[in-house]
Amino acid sequence: MKSAKPYIEEHKQRFIDELIELLKIPSISADSAYKKDVLSTADAIKESLEKAGCDSVELCETPGYPIVYGEKIIDPSLPTVLVYGHYDVQPPDPLDLWNSPPFDPVIEKTELHPDGAIFARGACDDKGQMYMHVKAMEYMTKTDQLPCNVKFMIEGEEEVGSPSLEWFVTRNQDKLANDVILISDTGMIAKDVPSITTGLRGLSYVEVEVTGPNRDLHSGLYGGAVANPINVLTKMIASLHDENKHITIPGFYDTVEELSTEERAKMAEAPFDKEAYKKALDIDDVYGEEGFTTNERNSIRPTLDVNGIWGGYIGEGAKTVIPSKAFAKISMRLVPHQNWRKITELFKSHFESIAPKGVRVKVKPHHGGEAYVTPIDNTAYQAASKAYEDTFGKTPIPQRSGGSIPIVALFEKELKSKTILMGFGLDSDAIHSPNEHFGIWNYLKGIETIPQFYHHFTKMS
């Protein structure tokens, strides 16, 4: 495969402009007010895949948002790469913390992105990274270099837990048959430290509701005499970690995969600058489970975090009230061998068991998924590693990430194939946060690296 660099150089402006157009559509899957926008994003992806050289592209209906499926089969005897990505994005809130409107993309230079970065919701997660694959496909077909078969499966519900994808995958196993799944929806260590994500954490997401009295009460007349659901809920939540920041749910760690001393030593070789980490987050120290490093805490260890908590009076001024209800959304990041349904059960029974008299507790499971670890001694990983060597001039470091793409474990189960996670984002790209961005350099580097993967994978298969 020839280097894609000259082609990218020639079409660079158009590649950027096309991504910007895509980023203008607010495809927020969590909010039904944006339904039309989510649907029109699917149409736009379909059109872009057709233009990039797919032979057939369709919008596959599901109980939720459609999945864009496209393929180009050049020879059934050659390997098939299945590209997965998502066209939906997270809600942009809090809006007032954005320096420019989230769906009005702008290019700004930053310290880490001196060539400029595109600021918009979805720039990195995942429209920008998904679109690298569309442009890599364009390059390979327009220059007659596509070495194998390609299938694209781009969904619109990833940010809400992919509720329809299992439905789709289990019904379309033949259509989706492949030799490797390729995803760009993660990050890399740094622009000069390429890495390949070899692990994702699982997830169990729940919502809890604590109910005290049947209505909000005067906090003077009733205060002290009835349970205050917010007081109770915060105490219950606080009790979920002990002083060593271990999670106290009985059985929570029973199946947790323990890494060997060698594996942990290998992990510790990845560059990590604690001072820079603290500075970037404006914190005076890191925090977490005793006995583990920061990189271990956020990748190979399970966690429990409150994502949101509410109840009572939060308007202007003061209102003296004992609320009837208090709520929280809680996520647990899981590691290999923890079954998310089992963990959800353990959480539910523990949380119900620690509720004091005077309140009622409801636990509502949202969604979840298993962790995933990809082997590094197989053809697919080796091919990816070679691709980075071609374009970065360095061997990438395998690194387990703390994020979750729950569908990856399901792919392995249903489609029997391994996933390669070639992420080109940086941790500082602010995915899910205000001012999300994606470096133009990263975007173009991804487009350059992906075709090399196809080349090596086909040759080595």
Interacting residues toward ligand BES by CB under 6 A: 125-126, 158-159, 161, 185-187, 200, 203, 401, 403-406, 431
Does residue 125 bind Mn ion (CB under 5 A)? yes
Does residue 126 bind Mn ion (CB under 5 A)? yes
Minimum gap (Å) between residue 368 Cβ and ligand BES? 8
**Residue 279 contacts by C-beta under 8 Å, 6 or more apart in sequence?**
none
Minimum gap (Å) between residue 197 Cβ and ligand BES? 6
Residue 406 binds which entry of ligand BES, Mn ion, none, CB below 5-8 Å type-dependent: ligand BES
Does residue 436 bind Mn ion (CB under 5 A)? no
Residue 436 binds which entry of ligand BES, Mn ion, none, CB below 5-8 Å type-dependent: none
Of the candidate spans 121-129, 218-226, 350-358, 388-396, the one that interacts with Mn ion by CB under 5 A turns out to be: 121-129
Q: Give 71 or 185: the residue with its C-beta nearer to Mn ion.
A: 185
Burial of residue 278 (number of CB atoms within 10 Å: 0-12, 13-18, 19+): middle
Q: Give 126 or 138: the residue with its C-beta nearer to ligand BES.
A: 126
Minimum gap (Å) between residue 126 Cβ and ligand BES? 6
Of the candidate spans 125-133, 136-144, 165-173, 409-417, the one that interacts with Mn ion by CB under 5 A turns out to be: 125-133
Does residue 429 bind Mn ion (CB under 5 A)? no
Q: Give 404 or 458: the residue with its C-beta nearer to ligand BES.
A: 404
Minimum gap (Å) between residue 333 Cβ and ligand BES? 8
Q: Give 102 or 406: the residue with its C-beta nearer to ligand BES.
A: 406
**Residue 150 contacts by C-beta under 8 Å, 6 or more apart in sequence?**
54, 71, 72, 80, 81, 82, 83, 137, 454
**Distance of alpha carbon 60 from alpha carbon 154, whole angstroms:** 10
**Distance of alpha carbon 388 from alpha carbon 445, whole angstroms:** 10
Minimum gap (Å) between residue 20 Cβ and Mn ion? 19
| 3-class state of residue 123 by DSSP | coil
Q: Chain centroid to CA 76: how far?
A: 32
Spatial strand order in the sheet of 202-211: 303-311, 325-334, 202-211, 360-369
Element (H, E) at 308: strand 303-311
Minimum gap (Å) between residue 404 Cβ and ligand BES? 4
**Residue 402 contacts by C-beta under 8 Å, 6 or more apart in sequence?**
201, 298, 299, 333
> DSSP secondary structure string, 227-270?
--HHHHHHHHHHTTB-TT--B-STTTTTTPPPPPHHHHHHHTTS
Q: Give 72 or 133: the residue with its C-beta nearer to ligand BES.
A: 133
Size of the site for Mn ion (CB under 5 A): 3
Residue 203 binds which entry of ligand BES, Mn ion, none, CB below 5-8 Å type-dependent: ligand BES
Residue 157 token pair: 């519900």
Minimum gap (Å) between residue 87 Cβ and ligand BES? 11
Minimum gap (Å) between residue 162 Cβ and ligand BES? 7
**Residue 431 contacts by C-beta under 8 Å, 6 or more apart in sequence?**
90, 124, 125, 425
Q: Give 129 or 458: the residue with its C-beta nearer to ligand BES.
A: 129
CA atoms within 13 A on the CB side of 95: 4
Q: Please say whether the beta carbons of 438 and 185 come within 8 A.
A: no
Residue 122 binds which entry of ligand BES, Mn ion, none, CB below 5-8 Å type-dependent: none
Of the candidate spans 131-139, 179-187, 262-270, 446-454, the one that interacts with Mn ion by CB under 5 A turns out to be: 179-187
Does residue 157 bind Mn ion (CB under 5 A)? no
> DSSP secondary structure string, 75-87?
-TTS-EEEEEEE-
Of the candidate spans 124-132, 251-259, 303-311, 359-367, the one that interacts with Mn ion by CB under 5 A turns out to be: 124-132
Minimum gap (Å) between residue 374 Cβ and ligand BES? 13
Residue 1 binds which entry of Mn ion, ligand BES, none, CB below 5-8 Å type-dependent: none
Residue 186 binds which entry of ligand BES, Mn ion, none, CB below 5-8 Å type-dependent: ligand BES
| 3-class state of residue 299 by DSSP | coil
Does residue 185 bind Mn ion (CB under 5 A)? yes
CA atoms within 13 A on the CB side of 139: 30
State the residue number with the nearest CB to ligand BES.
403
**Residue 135 contacts by C-beta under 8 Å, 6 or more apart in sequence?**
15, 18, 52, 447
Q: Which residues bind Mn ion (CB under 5 A)?
A: 125-126, 185
